[in-house]
Amino acid sequence: MATTTLPLRTPLPVQTRLAGVVPDVEGHILTPILEDIDRLKQERNAVVLAHNYMTPDIFHGAADLRGDSLELARLAAETPADVIVMAGVHFMAETAKILSPDKTVLIPDPRAGCSLADSITGADIRALRERYPGVPVVTYVNTSAEVKAESDITCTSSNAVRIVESLGVDRVLFLPDRYLGAWVATQTDVEVIGWEGACEVHERFTGEEIAELRASDPELAILAHPECPPDVLAASDIVGSTSQMVGWVRDHQPAKVVLVTECSMADNVAAEAPDTEFVRPCNMCPHMKRITVQNIRTALETMQHPVEVDPAIAERARRAVTAMLEAS
């Protein structure tokens, strides 16, 4: 196994990383676990990649690299580490494995799934291709490797419009998120043929909820994820991926903001934006919440659970993911 020295090791002591992120009493419990994780990362030449929806102890305490789905895909492809621990859901770990087949990719809890990934199969895409011959298939990364392998190109919530337009065609099959597809259709002249998938977290937000938030304070900045239903997006000020929301808060430093997305996002951003007040409706992703500092430590100790993708499927899926990375 190669022994590359990692340039991105979190340099600060655990206590510093946790300061202002969790209460002191919680910090005392977390410190030995996070110190174990630091040691194991060095021993294994490993990095922890964390999605923006991880809880603050993981996001600020255990992660070396953080981001939205697109950033995690890029980081997975670029890291010189031998081992990637994906603090996220299964499709993210699979994407990392597709892009880095020679690395060991671990998911601390293999049950961390996704309602969007569960909504479509490779056979569904083959049937759609028969029904719409010649129409390119653009697939959200929240899908299995098998589905990616049947696709022309993948996209994420941060680049979906750009990817659809990059193809230079009049219409696309856009799968599997019906709400992201509907939002893309409002942003482009390309005809979007969708699928019936939905994120079980974002589809719970309603237009009435947003109207109530707006009425509660006209100064409130409302940022929504494009996996939300159309009436939610229409009533919001900004629509963007998780990292686009983080960037907007950083750049604009609003007095008061609501992030219409999974709960942990606000906790993570709030730790770095002390002058902004966060309104926090809480829709939690049960899949993301399967990942804990405890099972990250166990993953590094035992090298469980390695993610494997059939090499033939991985090769075809890699073409679709690489096409996205090159176009975005």
Nearer to ligand 13P, 20 or 286 (CB): 286
Residue 69 or 144: which CB sits closer to ligand 13P? 69
Q: Which is nearer to ligand SF4, 101 or 281 (CB)?
A: 281
Cβ–Cβ under 8 Å, residues 148 and 60: no
Q: What single DSSP character describes residue 57?
A: I
CA–CA dist 242, 106 (Å, integer) = 23
Quick one: which of 89, 147, 258, 265 contacts ligand SF4 (CB under 6 A)?
Answer: 89
Binding positions for ligand SF4, 191-230, rule CB under 6 A: 199-201, 227
Minimum distance of ligand 13P from residue 113's CB (angstroms): 10
Helix (H, G, I), strand (E, B) or coil at 188: coil
**Separation between Cα atoms, residue 295 and residue 271, nearest integer Å:** 23
Q: How far is the CB of 283 from ligand SF4 (least distance, A)?
A: 8
Among the candidate windows 109-117, 183-191, 229-237, 273-281, which touches ligand SF4 by CB under 6 A? 109-117
Residue 60 in tokens = 């600020």
Closest Cα to residue 258, out of 285, 227, 224? 224
CB 205 within 8 A of CB 224: yes
What 3-state class would DSSP assign to 275? coil
Binding partner of residue 200 among ligand SF4, ligand 13P, none, CB cut-off 5 to 8 Å per kind? ligand SF4
Rounded CA-CA distance 142/241 in Å is 13
Is 288 a binder of ligand SF4 (CB under 6 A)? Answer: yes
**Contact footprint for ligand 13P (CB under 6 A):** 52, 68-69, 142, 156-158, 199, 225, 227, 241-242
Minimum distance, C-beta of residue 240 to ligand 13P, in the bound complex (Å): 8
Using the contact rule CB under 6 A, the part of the chain among 166-174, 282-290, 291-299, 304-312 near ligand SF4 is 282-290
Nearer to ligand SF4, 53 or 248 (CB): 53
- Answer for the pair 242, 52: CB distance below 8 angstroms, yes or no: yes
- The encoded tokens of residue 91 equal 């499709």
**116 makes contact with ligand SF4 (CB under 6 A):** yes
Task: Compute the least distance from the CB of residue 134 to ligand 13P, in Å.
Answer: 29
Interacting residue with ligand SF4 among 287, 297, 305, 318 (CB under 6 A): 287
Structure token pair of residue 134 = 């010649």
Amino acid found at 22: V
- If DSSP codes are grouped into helix, strand and coil, which group holds residue 46? strand
Q: Which residue number, 151 or 242, has a Cβ lying nearer to ligand 13P?
A: 242
Among 256, 261, 253, residue whose Cα is nearest residue 220: 256
DSSP codes of every residue in 146-185: HHHHT-SEEE-TTTHHHHHHHT--SEEEEESBHHHHHHHH
Q: Select from ligand 13P, ligand SF4, none the partner in contact with residue 159, using the beta carbon and a kind-dependent cut-off of 5 to 8 Å.
A: none
Among 10, 95, 104, 142, binds ligand SF4 (CB under 6 A): 142
Residues binding ligand SF4 (CB under 6 A)? 89, 114-116, 142, 199-201, 227, 262, 285, 287-288
